[in-house]
Amino acid sequence: MLSEQDVTNFQILFKKEFGTEISREEALEEGLKLVGLMNNIYQPMTQDEHDEIERHRKATASKVTKNINK
């Protein structure tokens, strides 16, 4: 659930980003959708998983750079 302050902050950010004001109900609905999306896509990783990704990134960095410079 979002607090009243979260809803207010969402309204402020929405207006800054899109130039349009939204109601508290719309802000609550859209804010909850955003939180749900983040819960679905954000998966914390272990240190071992992070280390493996870094090893892979370093191993392939020169190939990526070479392909970009073509």
Q: What is the pLDDT of residue 33?
A: 97
Quick count: other Cβ atoms within 10 Å of Cβ 53? 11
pLDDT at 61: 86
Of 14, 54, 59, 52, nearest in space to 34 by CA: 14
Range of the domain at 38: 4-68
Average pLDDT over residues 14-30: 97
Domain count, the chain: 1
Model confidence, pTM: 0.62
Q: Is the pLDDT of residue 67 over 80?
A: no
Average pLDDT over residues 49-68: 87
Which of the four pLDDT bands, split at 50, 70 and 90, describes residue 62? confident
